[in-house]
Amino acid sequence: MLALARDLAVNLAAGLRLALMLPVRRLAFRVGPAALIALLVISAAVQIGTDAVRYGEGGAFSWYGLGSEVLSGGLLLLTATILALAFRDPPLALAVPVIVLASFPVLQVANAMPWQRLGVPRVAADALDTVVLAWIVAVLVRAVHVALEHRRSHRVLRAIGGGLLLAAPILYAPAIAPIEPWFAPLARDEGDSRHPNPASEPVLALQATILDHALDALEDGRPGRADLYFVGFAGDATEDAFRRDVEAAQRVMDERWGTEGRSLALVNSTRTLLSAPMATLTHLRAALDEIAAAMDADEDVVMVYVATTGSPRRELEVHMPGLELVPLTPELLKSALDDAGIRHRIVVISACHAGGFLQELADDDTVVIVAAQSDASPHACDVGSDATLFGDAFFRQGMATANGVAQAFDVARASVEARELAQGLAPPATPQMRIGPGIAARLPGIERRGGAAQREARRSGVPAV
């Protein structure tokens, strides 16, 4: 076992030199059946790690990934055998797979890099993907060249032909069988076995209790003072970024805008089934009704933040696997606010196709902010690993630093425009804001007061300034 581990380390070191185009000899590799099996295991382990980074947060471990490993390994062995027969060099059937697998871990990591999530512009990310693909082909050519070290005649031509033959499965393997990752994203309507079933009676019963506790914790408005209430709505459980986005927005509002004790988050996520009320139209109506009973309708303001998947049908998706939930339309959202008797409101919608909500929700006493002007901006649907792009710009960058809602919107719009310019995204999303004349007079009363000052004021009963 110690000898196998030593040979594995030697092979990986030699393979790294090969991949980095550093000098390396054929004799630097330890070729044998045991070495081949060890490298196949290492290749699978690296692929599991890269798939976990790419898919693990929003998916579940899948043994179908093993099938992809068997397919790719089998194609590598088959191609190496063909080369051995074509070149009349039987040792190549084992040497080529060992050399290729020894050099591939660094290529697997490079191939799985989430360039755009790291802030690389889309055009540059596409170029990097092409560079990595060319690097893989170059390494395959060099692997055959090293394996043919003892052959002098036509070595370069044989290496190029052999490398291209080894690279061919990159193109035709998906036609033979689907390439499945080790971590598979959950199907839209598929439950997650790692978490409770949202449709089970115990969960539904507990949800009623969770909602009651969240509503009971809301504090009353204070006479003579304009209080701000916050309701977050993370509508789509199939993308965990919506949950993180709403939770981050709530933290910003609590810490920077003094909504602590007057905020709640409705979240569709299998991770929060036992801790947070689900995002449904019924729960939203209940929350708005409770806030309306606690607030002063003439003084206080309610902010509703919706982060979810949009639809060209002017609907905001409300989705939890196993449940049939009503999507939010402009009419339903407006009626929920109207029926509760909430007069002064700020509605922020971070979703693609959100522009259809602007006209319907706008009135004298409402601020409406949407992530995109029209349906012609597909990148408005993009989400990051832990936030929607507009939600991050408006709350984490805008509301976290600005002293007013309009100023926060200006910060967010500038951030979105800078990103579009840097990544060459078109047409522009053009976030939109409408401020009614009635609520415009109320906004100065809720300007940011700062979390520490607000908490101290709440403890002492003295209004923060």
Q: List the domains of the chain with CATH numbers.
A: 2-185 (no CATH), 201-460 (3.40.50.1460)
Place of tokens 């560079």: 131
Burial of 5 by CB count in 10 Å (0-12 exposed, 13-18 middle, 19+ buried)? exposed
Three-state DSSP state, 85: helix
Looking at every residue in the chain, the average pLDDT score rounds to 87
Instruction: Give 394's DSSP letter.
Output: I
Q: How many residues does the chain have?
A: 465
Instruction: Give 236's DSSP letter.
Output: B
**Pair of tokens at residue 415:** 């951030």
Q: Return the minimum-mean-pLDDT range out of 55-59, 125-129, 142-146.
A: 55-59
Q: What is the mean pLDDT of residues 305-331?
A: 91
Q: Are 227 and 300 in contact (CB under 8 A)?
A: yes
Distance CA 24, CA 158 (A): 18
**pLDDT for 464 beyond 70:** no
Closest to 62 in 3D by CA, of 173, 194, 175, 188 = 194
Each residue of 159-178: b (16+ CB within 10 Å) or e? bbbbbebbbebeeebeeeee
pLDDT value, residue 318: 95
Distance CA 247, CA 263 (A): 11
- Strands in 163-321 per DSSP E: 183-185, 228-234, 263-267, 301-307, 310-311, 315-316
Distance CA 242, CA 307 (A): 6
What phi-psi label fits residue 440: left (phi over 0), alpha (psi between -120 and 50 degrees) or beta? alpha
Distance CA 77, CA 75 (A): 5
Distance CA 374, CA 132 (A): 36
- Strands in 23-136 per DSSP E: 59-61
- Strands in 223-269 per DSSP E: 228-234, 263-267
Pick the residue with more confidence: 365 or 464? 365
pLDDT value, residue 51: 84
Distance CA 419, CA 272 (A): 32
What angle do the packed helices 92-111 and 155-176 form, to 10 degrees?
60
Distance CA 207, CA 294 (A): 22
**Pair of tokens at residue 429:** 């999303």
pLDDT value, residue 461: 42
Q: Are 26 and 147 in contact (CB under 8 A)?
A: yes
Q: Does an H or E element contain 370, and which?
A: strand 366-370
Q: Return the minimum-mean-pLDDT range out of 323-337, 367-381, 411-425.
A: 367-381
**pLDDT for 280 beyond 80:** yes
Cβ–Cβ contacts within 10 Å for residue 156, how many?
10
Distance CA 338, CA 59 (A): 39
Which residues lie closer than 8 Å to 252 by C-beta, 6 or more apart? 395, 396, 399, 400
Closest to 390 in 3D by CA, of 366, 361, 347, 419 = 419
**pLDDT for 453 beyond 60:** no
CA distances from residue 134 to 6, 137, 284, 286, 406 in whole angstroms, order as listed: 31, 5, 52, 57, 48
Distance CA 64, CA 184 (A): 9
Instruction: Give 225's DSSP letter.
Output: S
Place of tokens 């179908």: 64
Q: Are 314 and 353 in contact (CB under 8 A)?
A: yes
Distance CA 255, CA 131 (A): 44
Distance CA 351, CA 346 (A): 16
End-to-end CA distance of the chain: 70
**pLDDT for 463 beyond 50:** no
**pLDDT for 457 beyond 50:** no
Q: Taking the CA atoms of the chain, what radius of gyration do you get in angstroms?
A: 29
**Pair of tokens at residue 39:** 């490298």
pLDDT value, residue 94: 95
Per-residue pLDDT of 217-262, as tens digits, reads 999 999 888 999 999 999 999 888 899 999 999 999 999 999 999 9
Place of tokens 């991050």: 392
The answer to whether the pTM exceeds 0.75 is no
